[in-house]
Amino acid sequence: VTSPDPIASLVAGVLERRPRAVARAISAVEDGGEPQREVVRRIYDRTGRARVVGITGPPGAGKSTLVDRLARLFRSRGETVGILAVDPTSPFTGGALLGDRIRMQALYTDPGVFIRSMATRGAMGGLAPATRDAADVLDAAGFDWVLIETVGVGQDEVDVVRSADTVVLVTLPGLGDDIQAIKAGIMEIADVFVINKADREGVERTARELKLAMELDEAGRGWVPPILKTVASIGRGVEEVAEAVTRHRAHLEASGELAERRRAQLRLRVETILQRRVLSAADRRLGLEREVERAAAQRLDPYTVADAVFAGVTNLGKQAEVLP
């Protein structure tokens, strides 16, 4: 028998932390459209309790290993952990990361851990919005920790980690300028720096470089991001990472910054939804493609076209073509 309100039974399952319901709710937010909105609407007042941590850094830095070690540590304390492994670069690494994760999931027969891969191709409404909504699902399901792991590249990624209360940037000894450049944009929003594989040469130099870059960027922020050294593969330094994340959370609460960050997160989410909404309204109400074809044929400039389309979208009564 199917429920008369499938979303209601899905949400009920999420709130009881039933793994299949959690998985299906995340699929719903990936699929986009009305189910995505409805799931979030109905669980939202049950969110806000989980500690949401973004773990980012270049490929090969050992993020997955660190996440795995952190999860085991939290479990050993009786805390529950939801993990979102975000992989926007599917053509090359998608399969590999997903494969890693499937192997990793197999390690956990533990219902206190939930692991999910998120990929661009699965997220119809955009990767960052789907990831934020999935974090809400895990939060509403009562997981104490939500760990969002993502490769630190580009704007999509920055948007993803902005969903986190605490951002951990994982790097390696001896990464040159090339990789530093890639991390720009992430650097500014990192709350904790981790130099993983710290048994390798160059760790002190990398620490100095990070410290220098930080001093340039982070003056007067009230929280001085610690620079930690780990060898995640053997568990070294992992407790210190957990401790730094916990300290950062306490700082956010004590300083009032937690409320401020969450307001900024809400604004970012609202803005993203608005941006998608205006495009879908332009498509649905006006047929954006047809308007663009007419504009291209007439060699109209993009600002004139956008003005006409925006006027058409905001003028609900009028369904006619907007361009001459």
Contact residues: a copy of itself, CB under 8 A: 37, 40-41, 44-45, 48, 58-60, 89-93, 151, 153-157, 177-178, 180-185, 187-188, 213, 216-217, 259, 262-263, 266-267, 269-271, 273-275, 277-279, 281-282, 288-289, 292-293, 295-296, 299-306, 309-310, 313-316
Tokens at 122, concatenated: 């699965």
**Pairing mode, if any, of strands 81-87 and 145-151?**
parallel
Of 2 and 155, CB closest to a copy of itself: 155
Tokens at 147, concatenated: 């760990």
Closest CA to 112 of 19, 232, 26, 245: 19
222: left (phi over 0), alpha (psi -120 to 50) or beta: left
Closest CA to 80 of 47, 44, 51: 51
Q: How far is the CB of 262 from a copy of itself (least distance, A)?
A: 7
Q: How far is the CB of 203 from a copy of itself (least distance, A)?
A: 19
Q: How far is the CB of 245 from a copy of itself (least distance, A)?
A: 23
Q: How far is the CB of 275 from a copy of itself (least distance, A)?
A: 4
Q: How far is the CB of 142 from a copy of itself (least distance, A)?
A: 17
Of 59 and 235, CB closest to a copy of itself: 59
Of 246 and 319, CB closest to a copy of itself: 319
Of 7 and 73, CB closest to a copy of itself: 7
Of 140 and 147, CB closest to a copy of itself: 140
Of 108 and 233, CB closest to a copy of itself: 233
Which letter, b or e, does each residue of 259-277 get, where b requires 16 or more Cβ atoms within 10 Å of its Cβ?
A: eebeeebeebbeebeeeee
Q: How far is the CB of 90 from a copy of itself (least distance, A)?
A: 7
Of 245 and 305, CB closest to a copy of itself: 305
Q: How far is the CB of 73 from a copy of itself (least distance, A)?
A: 27
Instruction: Please tell me the distance from the alpha carbon of residue 54 to that of residue 241, in angstroms, as a whole number.
Output: 13
Collect all residues with Cβ–Cβ distance below 8 Å to 91 and sequence separation of at least 6.
none
Instruction: Please tell me the distance from the alpha carbon of residue 308 to that of residue 11, in angstroms, as a whole number.
Output: 41
Instruction: Please tell me the distance from the alpha carbon of residue 311 to that of residue 309, in angstroms, as a whole number.
Output: 5
169 within 8 A of 190, measured Cβ to Cβ: yes
Instruction: Please tell me the distance from the alpha carbon of residue 303 to that of residue 24, in angstroms, as a whole number.
Output: 42
Q: How far is the CB of 318 from a copy of itself (least distance, A)?
A: 12
113 three-state secondary structure: strand
Instruction: Please tell me the distance from the alpha carbon of residue 191 to that of residue 166, in angstroms, as a whole number.
Output: 6
Q: How far is the CB of 175 from a copy of itself (least distance, A)?
A: 10
Of 63 and 71, CB closest to a copy of itself: 63
Our CA dihedral for 201, 205, 209, 215, rounded to 10 degrees, sits at 130
Instruction: Please tell me the distance from the alpha carbon of residue 294 to that of residue 127, in angstroms, as a whole number.
Output: 32
